[in-house]
Structure 1
Amino acid sequence: MIHFYIVHHQLSEAVFLQAYLSTTDFSNNVLVVDEAALLGTHTDQPAAIICSIPSLTNNILKWLKKLHNPPLLICCGTGAEIENIVNTQQVFAYLQTPVSLERVLSLKKNIHDYLFQTAKPELAEKKNFVFVKSDYKLIKINLQEILFLSGLKDYTQVFLKNKKTPLTTLKNLKEFETKLSPNDFVRVHRSYIVAISQIDYISKNEITIESYTIPIGNAFRKVLDEAIGKNS
């Protein structure tokens, strides 16, 4: 069982999220709480917080840092709001508004899988492939064949080695990001995630991979530098 806590500045949106999260299995404890109630929460069970960005205070971030086994933090907001806090290291995932049931259920499954693997590391095997839906088919993609990913609103284009045409899938970039290892992939722009091993060279504001040029967003430069530093 996973405990979900929703902290949202708009009650109507919190109620929608509560209804979506209560759908299907994986959890049966979904609570809408305010900041004071959240900071007074104590649980040894797997937990996640979905917090709207206007409700994300320094008090919440400081509280999470103090916890030995903190809940996963998911930030909910518009694309512009999400870009402004992308360097917040404590964030597990981002949920872009307006939310849909499909998007929430996909996020919920990713949270479940992550917490299950974290609790039982002997069952957590490194994935070397992923299945994506494209053109009404489920297509297996070997992760080592991915060059980079480009986000287009609710779609993601996956650029692959030796493929002239990218694979397009109905999954937004932030949801796709939760399926990728941060040791192998890094977000370098609001609209791009690159495979670290495929980078040919990096200039001041651009990354070159084969014949492609990918821009580097200012808000993502620090994360990119840290990823490159680990491989230097």
Structure 2
Amino acid sequence: MADSKIRCIAVDDEPLALALVSGFISQTPFLELVGKFENAIEALSFIHEKEVDLIFLDIQMPGLTGMELARVLEGHKNKNRPKIIFTTAYDQFALEGYKVNALDYLLKPFGYDEFLRASTKAYQITQSAQFPPQVSVPQKDYLFLKVEYQLVKVFLKDIICIEGYKDYVKVHLIDKPHPLLSLTSLKNLEEILPRDQFMRVHRSYIVSLDHIESVTKNTINLGGISIAVSDHYKDGFLKFMEKWIY
């Protein structure tokens, strides 16, 4: 089913780290936590008995390490074997992680925004795998944003623009006097949002193409907001505009 959740397990020998990842999984709408383990041997036994789509896997663990578990699963060459997102405090394992086809690599300590970015990548890949290339997969028309201590559903059609800061973004919405403040990055949202509907026009702004009201030489006006198009993004924006100028 296109809307089914991704069945996940978390594996980490540190109880606090295991609880953190398990909590992140549980609060993410498209993920389902089906198991959590403090050692890789128990996780491997569970994987052999149950259906698992995605593993959040620590690398440095006593006994069977996370990397060794990944090699075991890679050796099965089963197209339905779980995908892996490594969680580790050691960045020297990044290259080795790619050798076992790890989907992503989260460097501890990481926050929910980084976790959500990696999870969204897993979700998009899973969705694509469920449909043959010739089948048109409907584009999701919403996303979930972490606002304070909850996930808020935001419809893409309601987004006017997104203003980026260092550790968070302001999402300006139609018919809302104040923007939503979310703990994520502009780069993460740029990767998630459909490119036929949204465009990065400045290091600090993504705009909704549907909500553009007028354009001057260097400025976009939408929803009562004026945004300058920076030199770095100007060529891409002008190419887009050329298609609509008559």
> TM-score, with normalisation over the residues of structure 1?
0.57
Equivalence map 1:1-232=2 (5 Å): 22-23=57-58, 26-27=83-84, 32-33=94-95, 100-121=110-131, 122=135, 124-231=137-244
Moved over 6 A (4+): none
Q: Using a 3 Å threshold, how does the CA distance of structure 1 residues 182 and 230 change in structure 2: closer, same or farther?
A: farther
Structure 2 portions without partners, runs of 5+:
1-55, 59-65, 67-81, 88-92
Deviation at 1:138, TM superposition (A): 2.5
What SS class does the counterpart of residue 204 from structure 1 fall into? coil
Indicate conservation of the 8 Å contact 1:117/1:123, yes or no. Answer: no
Counterpart residue type for residue 152 of structure 1: Y
Q: Using a 3 Å threshold, how does the CA distance of structure 1 residues 22 and 104 change in structure 2: closer, same or farther?
A: farther
Question: 1:14 — aligned with what?
Answer: none
How many residues align? The count is 159
Partners of 2:83 and 2:228 lie apart in 1 by: 38
Counterpart residue type for residue 84 of structure 2: S
Greater relative contact order: 1 or 2 (C-alpha under 8 angstroms, separation 6 or more)? 1
Identity %: 26
Counterpart residue type for residue 32 of structure 1: A
Q: Which has the larger radius of gyration?
A: 2
Deviation at 1:125, TM superposition (A): 2.6
Post-superposition Cα deviations, 1:60-109, rounded to whole Å, max 9, x if no partner, equal: xxxxxxxxxxxxxxxxxxxxxxxxxxxxxxxxxxx9x9983534322221
Partners of 1:99 and 1:221 lie apart in 2 by: 36
Q: Using a 3 Å threshold, how does the CA distance of structure 1 residues 216 and 134 change in structure 2: closer, same or farther?
A: same
> TM-score, with normalisation over the residues of structure 2?
0.54
Structure 1 portions without partners, runs of 5+:
1-20, 51-94
